[in-house]
Chain A
Amino acid sequence: MTARVGVVTFPGSLDDTDAARAVRRAGGIAVPLWHGERDLRGVDAVILPGGFSYGDYLRCGAIARFAPVMAELVPAARAGLPVLGICNGFQILCEAHLLPGALTRNDRLRFISREVLVRVENAATPWTSDYQPGQEATLVLKSGEGAYVADAATLAGLQQRGQVLARYGGGNPNGSAGGIAGICSEDGAIAGLMPHPEHAIDPLTGPGRDGLAFFTSAVRALAAA
């Protein structure tokens, strides 16, 4: 069975076409999902892509969490549907309380668009199983509100339970707590990642292919399920 991965388009989503392309390159079927429809179209997993949903008005992700599609997605995710939020998608997952903590303004107060090295800390999730624990990958960071914050107890809990998905290697680009680049739920199915793996699937248009394994991991895991 070929995995069907939904990609949600909110008004202001920008990297939806890139995420869909990455799913296809990984061998999956990309299924477009529309923010205004309470319908997940029977997909096996969902990606919330990067962008500026609702113009980032109020707070990044704060309006998107109330979109009709989220009314279906939130219970499905709590029941185990794999969900990957990239950049704005990560912000939406935090606003929807599917992941703890929040993303705040970069410490230097400017938008950052550059290639960054990340270290995959948890390679036992549906989104990272094609990586080795500790493996380094060059991805693309492009965000103005990318600094992860949470209270000390939450951070300690994330560390303890293996919920730190990835950390920045080679310097903390944005003041993220503990250099955290991504986190996941306890079972690993819900993952949020600030850097963009979908921009690192082809050396012609990005830094390389290091990001593709996020998508092949899911496609493989879902096909096996």
Chain B
Amino acid sequence: MTVQSRGDDRRILPAPPVSPAAPDTVARAAATPDRLQPHAELGLTGEEYAAITEVLGRRPTDAELAIYSVMWSEHCSYKSSRAHLRQFADKAPPTTVLLAGIGQNAGVVDIGQGYAVTFKLESHNHPSYVEPFQGAATGVGGIVRDILAMGARPVAVMDALRFGPADAPDTRRVLPGVVGGISFYGNCLGLPNIGGELAFDPCYAGNPLVNALCLGVLRHEDLKLAAATGPGNHVVLFGSRTGPDGIGGASVLASASFGEGGTGGRSREGAKRPSVQVGDPFMEKRLVECCLELYSAGLVLGIQDLGAAGVACATTELTAGGGPEIGMRVRLDTVPLRDASLGPAEILMSESQERMMAVVAPAGLERFLAICAKWDVPATVIGEVTGTGRLEMTWHGEPVVDIPPASAATEAPVYQRPAARPAAQAALQADDPARLARPRSGPDLRAALLALLGAPDAADKSWVTEQYDRYVRGDTVLAMPQDAGLIRVDEQTSLGVALAVDGNGRYCLLDPYAGTQLALAEAYRNVAATGARPLAVTNCLNFGAPTDPAVMWQFTEAVRGLADACLALGVPVTGGNVSFYNQTGDAAIHPTPVVGVLGVHDDVRQRLSIGFGRPDCPVVLLGGSPGGGEPELGGSLWARVAHGHLGGRPPAVDLDAERALGSVLVAAAAAGLLAAAHDLSDGGLAVALAESCLAGGQGCTVTLPGDAFGHLFGESAARAVVAVAPGAGERFASLCREHGVPAAVLGRTGGPGLEVEGCFAIPLAELAGVHRSALPALFGA
């Protein structure tokens, strides 16, 4: 595979379909019905091309073909996934908290006191493999503009990252680049990075996952929608100039995997080559402040960010969002360019970063432009809203686009791709980890724990997180390595929101339905462990090629699992993102849905930390069967680290137990009954106890009756470990009984290290040494 080099003068392939000097006009298209057009190179099938011709009653112009090719790409149209994603709406739990839902740039959730928050996860996987630094940086930039377009001030970011083996040479290229890009863009933008995930697996070599989340805050009345209204209103493009960045990116990235499809010579190869955009966080910072000032001045009637598919997407979606009578007239030659040689099709497809498009009333235009000038943000009127119901564009006076906007924006084909349970699934599930040799003696259990703590997946992530500013804006109450990030929304009332993102590709490979539910349950638990009430869900669904029935089966199972679990837990999906084609040749990544849960915290001063910060607090295990039973080890970190094993079934899902556990944690935090809380997930109780000791600087001593191995390394869900505040033991115990949550006192906090009585003791310094040295040893001190 060719990796595109960076450089200021780089020209992104494919070559323009037509030279700007002689644009393909509407009249010419009508007059030359038989002219061959490169629809296949732009990712459109013959059937799709025929459908466009039928919609228009003639062949499309090259500019129109550019619009349809990007708008009907997998990335923009969700054509392979839409039929399944409907379940999120069909099975949505009854809720009153959603102010805007699926289909908008991001969902908007009412958190009380007149505040709303908006949040969304989005992938930038392929660009981050090709050019890790800029790929990840522009991933942050893109999701921030999505949030900004809802009328919100972006206030925090998170990221869920997955790479190939930590010791693989290519991971040493990709990981530092991705982390550096997120650091560069997010820090310069002034958004605190409050957490995320970092995981490694051979399946992500060549297909790293870079999923970025942004959180925004707004007052209810500030909500903005992507809809053009009022014929005669101006259409203003503002922000960076348009260059040849990422032309064709939207359709190419999502419609073909790397390295395949080189059947048609140079131009086809070029069309398949991903092209990465370059980010300018300083422009984005000015754009953010500029938009917020425009909003508060009441000058924005409708707004859309420019991301994938750039001007093509913003114009079609704004127009279609306005309703069937609304149209738009755009003079493409007035778009300010960085490269004067660009023609209509390239301008439409360009993915130049840091741009927005607004609908502005004539009376407000002068003030609008003045505010843009104050922030040194170039702004240009490029067209008007009309009442024709058509999206019309001209190039130096010649009509080059004339389409019904909804046909591109919302009426893309929907595919029911064949799905089939892979033949190997049964054998995979039958490969039970119960057969694996287990450590029994104290020294062996001790060694097993240290091996997990030093494994890159469970090791301390400071090497990464110390490159991110978590402090800026002064409202970060919790950030990594806490279970969830927690942002204060109001300094007077102490209202806040907590966010966690979680996923587990190993669980999902073993059972995508249950694995996805476990990802949701973990994020739900993580939010509750801070004392916040889980409220709403976003997701980023990372999968292989949807044309592979096995992948499609994984996808349908994952979506079904998530929709069912959201209903059971009473948390609606507010939006999300699908990333297909994460595969090299025939080898797809593990199905990796990443789930984000947002919760509201009524008083952030009552937040719970994972750290054991004081001695002599009872350590209590919440959840799980009191009698123990056979440990759940399918897909566990122990099975992987100790044996390189992945098989069997993931832990059982019990959503009623998750809900009860969450209720206990939230109520206990509000009542001040707890000194610490930490959810149990990868690595089970063993890793959780070690992390709580290290985070708070206190040891603990616990007694584990019966099978110490099972207690330590089993990964049963719906569990958390807490330190009970002194004197609160009785009240906490009755709270647990009230909610039917099993609570077992394991021991107490304090002492020089982590001690499992009769088994082993590990001094804090030794735990810390193993935990903290792993990533620096791999990626540089």
Do B285 and A11 touch across chains, with their CB atoms under 8 A apart? yes
- Given known A12-B188, A55-B188, contact A205–B475 (CB-CB < 8 A): yes
Residue of B374, B471, B474 near A113 (CB, 8 A) is B471
Q: Determine how close the nearest CB of chain A comes to the CB of B322; give it in whole angstroms.
A: 33
Do B282 and A11 touch across chains, with their CB atoms under 8 A apart? yes
What A residues does B376 contact at CB under 8 A?
Answer: 11
Measured CA separation A14–B285 after assembly (Å): 9
Chain B contact residue count (CB 8 A cutoff) = 34
User: For window 582-639 of chain B, which residues contact chain A by CB distance below 8 Å?
Assistant: 604-605
Does residue A204 face the partner (Cβ distance < 8 Å to B)? yes
- Given known A54-B282, A55-B280, A199-B474, contact A114–B488 (CB-CB < 8 A): no
Do A205 and B474 touch across chains, with their CB atoms under 8 A apart? yes
User: For window 464-485 of chain B, which residues contact chain A by CB distance below 8 Å?
Assistant: 465-477
Does residue A167 face the partner (Cβ distance < 8 Å to B)? no
Does residue A140 face the partner (Cβ distance < 8 Å to B)? yes
Residue of A113, A140, A196, A204 near B467 (CB, 8 A) is A113
- Given known A111-B183, A142-B187, contact A57–B282 (CB-CB < 8 A): yes
Residue of A14, A21, A54, A204 near B472 (CB, 8 A) is A14
Q: A169-202 vs B: 1/0 string, CB under 8 Å? A: 0000000000000000000000000001011001
Does residue A56 face the partner (Cβ distance < 8 Å to B)? yes
Do A18 and B605 touch across chains, with their CB atoms under 8 A apart? no
Does residue B286 face the partner (Cβ distance < 8 Å to A)? yes
What A residues does B465 contact at CB under 8 A?
Answer: 113
Do B187 and A21 touch across chains, with their CB atoms under 8 A apart? no
Do B471 and A56 touch across chains, with their CB atoms under 8 A apart? no
Main secondary structure of the interface of A (DSSP, over half): loop
Does residue A52 face the partner (Cβ distance < 8 Å to B)? yes
Identify which of B184, B187, B286, B604 gathers the most chain A CB atoms within 10 Å of its CB: B187
- Given known A11-B376, A113-B467, A140-B471, contact A204–B605 (CB-CB < 8 A): yes
User: For window 173-196 of chain B, which residues contact chain A by CB distance below 8 Å?
Assistant: 180, 183-184, 187-188, 190
Does residue B375 face the partner (Cβ distance < 8 Å to A)? yes
- Given known A51-B190, A52-B282, A142-B187, contact A111–B467 (CB-CB < 8 A): yes
Residue of B180, B471, B473, B475 near A142 (CB, 8 A) is B471
What A residues does B282 contact at CB under 8 A?
Answer: 11-12, 52, 54-57
Q: A17-60 vs B: 1/0 string, CB under 8 Å? A: 11001000000000000001000000000000011101111000
What A residues does B281 contact at CB under 8 A?
Answer: 52, 55
Residue of B190, B285, B374, B476 near A205 (CB, 8 A) is B476
Does residue A110 face the partner (Cβ distance < 8 Å to B)? yes
Identify which of B283, B286, B467, B471 gathers the most chain A CB atoms within 10 Å of its CB: B471
Identify which of B188, B474, B781 gathers the most chain A CB atoms within 10 Å of its CB: B474
Do A113 and B470 touch across chains, with their CB atoms under 8 A apart? yes
Q: Determine how close the nearest CB of chain A comes to the CB of B339; give it in whole angstroms.
A: 21
Does residue A100 face the partner (Cβ distance < 8 Å to B)? no
Measured CA separation A18–B192 after assembly (Å): 13
Do A11 and B375 touch across chains, with their CB atoms under 8 A apart? yes
Q: Determine how close the nearest CB of chain A comes to the CB of B370; give it in whole angstroms.
A: 13
Does residue A206 face the partner (Cβ distance < 8 Å to B)? yes
Which residue of chain B is the closest to A114 with respect to CB atoms? Answer: B466
Measured CA separation A196–B187 after assembly (Å): 15
Measured CA separation A142–B469 after assembly (Å): 6
Identify which of A18, A36, A113 gathers the most chain B CB atoms within 10 Å of its CB: A113
Q: A130-174 vs B: 1/0 string, CB under 8 Å? A: 000000000010101000000000000000000000000000000
Do A12 and B285 touch across chains, with their CB atoms under 8 A apart? yes
Q: Determine how close the nearest CB of chain B comes to the CB of A42; give it in whole angstroms.
A: 23
Identify which of A12, A50, A55, A205 gathers the most chain B CB atoms within 10 Å of its CB: A205
Which residue of chain A is the closest to B467 with respect to CB atoms? Answer: A111
Do A21 and B474 touch across chains, with their CB atoms under 8 A apart? yes
Measured CA separation A196–B469 after assembly (Å): 12
Measured CA separation A57–B467 after assembly (Å): 20
Measured CA separation A52–B488 after assembly (Å): 24
What A residues does B780 contact at CB under 8 A?
Answer: 108
What A residues does B188 contact at CB under 8 A?
Answer: 12, 52, 55-56
Measured CA separation A21–B183 after assembly (Å): 25
Which residue of chain A is the closest to B491 with respect to CB atoms? Answer: A21
Chain A contact residue count (CB 8 A cutoff) = 31
Which residue of chain B is the closest to A36 with respect to CB atoms? Answer: B374
Q: Determine how close the nearest CB of chain A comes to the CB of B473; give it in whole angstroms.
A: 7
Measured CA separation A56–B376 after assembly (Å): 16
Q: B675-690 vs A: 1/0 string, CB under 8 Å? A: 0000000000000000
Measured CA separation A13–B589 after assembly (Å): 41
Do A15 and B472 touch across chains, with their CB atoms under 8 A apart? yes
What B residues does A55 contact at CB under 8 A?
Answer: 188, 280-283, 285
Residue of B183, B466, B473 near A17 (CB, 8 A) is B473
Which residue of chain B is the closest to A50 with respect to CB atoms? Answer: B472
What A residues does B374 contact at CB under 8 A?
Answer: 36
Measured CA separation A134–B466 after assembly (Å): 27
Measured CA separation A81–B568 after assembly (Å): 63
Q: Determine how close the nearest CB of chain B comes to the CB of A106; give it in whole angstroms.
A: 11
Do A18 and B472 touch across chains, with their CB atoms under 8 A apart? yes
What B residues does A52 contact at CB under 8 A?
Answer: 187-188, 190, 281-282, 285
Measured CA separation A196–B475 after assembly (Å): 15
Do A110 and B467 touch across chains, with their CB atoms under 8 A apart? yes
Does residue A112 face the partner (Cβ distance < 8 Å to B)? yes
Identify which of B376, B466, B604 gathers the most chain A CB atoms within 10 Å of its CB: B466
User: For window 373-423 of chain B, which residues contact chain A by CB distance below 8 Å?
Assistant: 374-376
Q: B442-468 vs A: 1/0 string, CB under 8 Å? A: 000000000000000000001001111
Do B471 and A206 touch across chains, with their CB atoms under 8 A apart? yes
Q: Determine how close the nearest CB of chain A comes to the CB of B292; give it in whole angstroms.
A: 13
Q: Determine how close the nearest CB of chain A comes to the CB of B773; give it in whole angstroms.
A: 16
Q: Determine how close the nearest CB of chain A comes to the CB of B176; give it in whole angstroms.
A: 8
Measured CA separation A172–B743 after assembly (Å): 46
What A residues does B468 contact at CB under 8 A?
Answer: 111, 113
Measured CA separation A140–B472 after assembly (Å): 10
Measured CA separation A108–B280 after assembly (Å): 24
Which residue of chain B is the closest to A57 with respect to CB atoms? Answer: B282
Measured CA separation A110–B776 after assembly (Å): 13
What B residues does A113 contact at CB under 8 A?
Answer: 187, 465-471
Q: Determine how close the nearest CB of chain B comes to the CB of A80; give it in whole angstroms.
A: 30
Which residue of chain B is the closest to A196 with respect to CB atoms? Answer: B471
Q: Determine how close the nearest CB of chain A comes to the CB of B68; give it in whole angstroms.
A: 36
Measured CA separation A36–B374 after assembly (Å): 9
Measured CA separation A204–B605 after assembly (Å): 7
Measured CA separation A56–B185 after assembly (Å): 12
Q: Determine how close the nearest CB of chain A comes to the CB of B475; give it in whole angstroms.
A: 6
Which residue of chain B is the closest to A22 with respect to CB atoms? Answer: B474
Measured CA separation A111–B180 after assembly (Å): 8
What B residues does A114 contact at CB under 8 A?
Answer: 462, 466
Which residue of chain B is the closest to A206 with respect to CB atoms? Answer: B471
Which residue of chain A is the closest to B191 with respect to CB atoms? Answer: A14
What A residues does B604 contact at CB under 8 A?
Answer: 204
Do B190 and A14 touch across chains, with their CB atoms under 8 A apart? yes
What A residues does B473 contact at CB under 8 A?
Answer: 14, 17-18
Question: 26 A-B pairs, CB-CB below 8 angstroms?
Answer: A14-B473, A17-B473, A17-B474, A21-B474, A52-B188, A52-B281, A54-B282, A55-B280, A55-B285, A56-B188, A57-B282, A108-B780, A108-B781, A110-B183, A110-B467, A111-B184, A111-B469, A112-B466, A113-B469, A114-B462, A142-B187, A142-B469, A204-B477, A204-B605, A205-B474, A205-B476
Sample of 18 further A-B pairs with CB below 8 A, known A110-B467, A114-B462, A142-B187 = A11-B375, A12-B282, A12-B286, A14-B190, A14-B285, A15-B472, A18-B473, A52-B187, A52-B190, A108-B780, A113-B470, A144-B187, A198-B474, A199-B471, A202-B474, A204-B477, A204-B605, A205-B471
Closest 5 CB pairs of A and B: A55-B282, A14-B190, A199-B471, A18-B474, A52-B188
Task: Please report A residues at the B interface, Cβ cutoff 8 Å.
Answer: 11-12, 14-15, 17-18, 21, 36, 50-52, 54-57, 108, 110-114, 140, 142, 144, 196, 198-199, 202, 204-206
